[in-house]
Structures are given as structure tokens and as C-alpha cells.
Amino acid sequence: MVELDLQLATQAPVPDEAEFRRWCELALRQRKGDSELTIRLVDEAEGRELNHTYRHKDYATNVLSFEADVPDDMLDIPLLGDLVICVAVVQREAVEQGKALEAHWAHLVIHGCLHLLGYDHIDDDEAEEMEALERTLLDELGHPDPYADDETEFPIKAFGKDHE
């Protein structure tokens, strides 16, 4: 089971909580036992501030992953960490890259969850493993390869403001 705390720190339209939960459950299904995480959806100002504070980069990025720092005597709790997603960057990237907005959201949530599980893309071998898993999971959702270099245009679907 995935316990998800979805925090909305923006007025921009986003997918509903059920979609976020579905994407997280898919990415985290390889993990045995329960998982707890927070996804905070932010505007560009907060995204830029967090990226500057934690990565020393002075711009908003699409997703930041913060693995939980759990003390050794509490290692049995299912807390994975936090994802911070900048809504404006996600929307802009989808348009610029010609991707369906839903597919890009799914990709970034899955990508962030995999980081919380310890996957990384710093070296080529790790990147290939992580990207292969992302491709497989997104294919299960019916979404195309996010790393393909083709110029296929996908319709951009905006999400409503219903966040219950």
C-alpha cells in the first residue's frame, strides 16, 4: 500500500490524486511492504528557491527527490521521502517536447519515485537501468518512450481543478 500526502502549493491545474497514487503504486510495486511519501506541487518561485537551496542551481526544475533520512533505530518505518514537482516546468516541457501532458506527468512521478528507491542516472550504466525501467512502466500505462528522439506531436490535455 502507498500512503501519499499530496500537497498543492499552486493554483495551476494538475492531475487528480488518484492519478498520482496510480503512478506511485506502479513505480513502487517492486518494494516489499508499505510506502509513505509526499508529493508537493509548487509554482516556479518555490521550485527555483528549492533547487537553488539544495542543488545550487538558480532555476526551477521539473522534479526534486528527497530521500527520507531515517535514523537506524527507525529503519522499519515505510517513509521513502518527498518529491517536489514544479507544475509550470512540467507544463512547459510537455509543450516544448511535444509530449502528452499526462504522459509527462506520469514519467516525472515515476522518475522521482525511482530516485526515492535509490535509482540514479549519474553514470551511464545506472542511467540505462533507470531509463529501461521507466520505459517499461510507462509502456504499461500506454505512454510512449519518454527518451525517444522522434518528433511525434501528442495532444496536450489540461487537467481540471478538481483535487478532492
**What does the pLDDT look like over 129-148, one tens digit per residue?**
999 999 999 999 999 999 98
Does 3.40.640.10 match the CATH number of domain 2-140?
A: no
Section 102-127 average pLDDT: 94
Task: Give me the pLDDT at residue 112, please.
Answer: 97
Return the H-helix or E-strand segment holding 78. Answer: none
- For 82, the grid coordinates are 518527498
Contact of 95 with 104, CB cutoff 8 Å:
no
Mean of the per-residue pLDDT values for the chain? 88
User: If we measure between CA atoms, which residue out of 15, 7, 28 comes closest to residue 110?
Assistant: 28
> Could you tell me the residue ranges of all domains in the chain?
2-140
Contact of 83 with 67, CB cutoff 8 Å:
no
**CA torsion angle for 149, 151, 152, 157 (degrees, to 10)?**
100
Task: Give me the pLDDT at residue 75, please.
Answer: 63
14: which residues sit within 8 A by CB, 6+ positions away?
8, 41, 87, 105, 159, 163
Phi, psi angles (nearest 5°) of residue 159: -100, 145
